[in-house]
Amino acid sequence: MTKSEILDQFRHLATPPDPRFTDLVERCDEPELCNRRNFTGHLTASGVIVRLPQREVLLLRHRALGKWLAPGGHVEAGDASPAAAALREIAEETGIAPDELIPVNVVDGVQYCAEVSSHHIPRNEARGEEEHMHHDFRFLFVYNGHGPVMTDARESAGYKWVSLDDDYIHSEILCIGNVDALLASAVAVR
């Protein structure tokens, strides 16, 4: 994944990314951006998975942070794109395969993130990690699978489906206002 591919993700955002993120991309090379030991900040990718027609979002109880979050994690240097990192993390954390997901916000065959969230991660003494910033590419998917969600017990303490209209979803998981329009366009293309 190149810097230009990272910067290209910004083209379809309703809200510009945090200036700390754009500064990090300009200052660091690709390996540094994906290095979880880079405590200035590094890249993560998550998948906001919506189950229709219920309009529910899949959340996992993150063990280390003690919060309900969308499946996701660190972008690795070998990931072909931020979207590929999100799909890898979804599969690792939930057992949901890419063919069970309809990508949302696809333009000319490329999936663009719905938003970028830059957020503080507290110090984790057990992992030897200083406090730092995660710059999270948040991709939106429609779930079209039928199998059970299988969480990784080392990372998650369970899962739940939460209404897309829940205040927590809008304040912590996906803070954009055009979710329904994006979902409708993805389902219409199918």
- 57 DSSP β-pair partners: 50, 162
Q: Does residue 46 have a pLDDT over 60?
A: yes
This prediction's pTM = 0.91
The pLDDT-based confidence of 189 (bands split at 50, 70, 90) is: low
Q: Residue 23 sits in which domain range?
A: 3-189
Q: What is the DSSP string of 7-51?
A: HHGGGG-SSPPPHHHHHHHHHS-HHHHT-TT-TT-EEEEEEEEEE
Helix (H, G, I), strand (E, B) or coil at 106: strand
2-14 pLDDT per residue, tens: 888 888 999 888 8
Q: Does residue 148 have a pLDDT over 90?
A: no
Query: Which CATH number covers residue 146?
Result: 3.90.79.10
48-80 pLDDT per residue, tens: 999 999 999 999 999 888 999 999 999 998 999
In terms of Cα–Cα distance, which of 164, 158, 161 is closest to 180? Answer: 164
Q: Are 130 and 36 in contact (CB under 8 A)?
A: no
Q: Does residue 140 have a pLDDT over 70?
A: yes
> What is the rounded CA–CA span in Å between residue 128 and residue 86?
25
> What is the rounded CA–CA span in Å between residue 143 and residue 50?
6
Q: Are 152 and 110 in contact (CB under 8 A)?
A: no
Count the domains in the chain: 1
